[in-house]
Amino acid sequence: MWGAAVNKWQREFRAAAAAGGIESIREHLARLHLPCEPALLVEGTIAVVNAVLAYRMLDNPNAVDEVQPFLRMQRCEPGGGPGGLLACTLDLNGRAAARIMVEDLTRDIDLADLYGHPWDDYRVVGFSRLWIARADYGELSWKELRALEAAVERDFGFDDEEDVSLGFEDDPDSRFLLCHVQDVFESGKTGGDGD
């Protein structure tokens, strides 16, 4: 069953962080200007990976064969990876962060599901910001940045999330796309952070 594979990955992920991967995580957080302790990103990543896999199994119970390839992408020091991976970093409303590695943003994770997910350990729901970067921090072209923006919009639009506002910022060096995510209340005003 996929639970054993996830438990094994969690042990290996924590061990890799303790054995030196934490420095790679610290550098990642610094590149994004995200003030979060590396240990919080390790544990946040584990929580988000579990949520991603749970939603996959709900959507497609026969997707068990997709678990191992997804887990192999989730490393402390991801590098470029085969074909170039994207690093999707979520700010769990200031309580923790998570970095999920994907080959295909729209296939590998469901951002709308994660935005509505309760993180019991952190006593918040969802996330407030999302950074998307190449795993090797290579420059993203204007066309790639716009394609990523459109993919995020499609993800939320597909789930008909009219009560969510998305705002995008490009990094001045074109190394990542930053997306701010907020609830939209009935009055049309935005706010809230999931607390």
> Looking at residue 153, what is its pLDDT?
94
Confidence of residue 82 (pLDDT cuts 50, 70, 90): very low
Residue 11's domain spans which residues? 2-191
pLDDT at 21: 83
Mean pLDDT of 70-79: 84
Give the strand pairing for 176-184 and 164-170.
Answer: antiparallel
Query: Looking at residues 85-93, what average pLDDT do you find?
Result: 95
**How confident is residue 80, by pLDDT bands cut at 50, 70 and 90?**
very low
What pLDDT does residue 154 have?
A: 92
Average pLDDT score, the chain: 88
- For residue range 148-164, list pLDDT tens digits in order: 999 999 999 855 556 88
Q: Give dist(CA 84, CA 92) in Å, integer.
A: 25
- 5 pLDDT more than 70: yes
Q: Which pLDDT score, from 0 to 100, does residue 195 have?
A: 46
Answer yes or no: is pLDDT of 130 > 90: yes
Please name the residue ranges forming H helices in the chain: 2-16, 22-32, 38-59, 67-73, 105-108, 111-115, 142-158
pLDDT digits (tens, 9 = 90+) for 29-55: 999 999 999 999 999 999 999 999 999
Task: Judge whether 136 and 80 are in contact, CB under 8 Å.
Answer: yes
**What are 90-107's pLDDT values in tens digits?**
999 999 999 999 999 988
Domain count, the chain: 1
46-75 average pLDDT score? 88
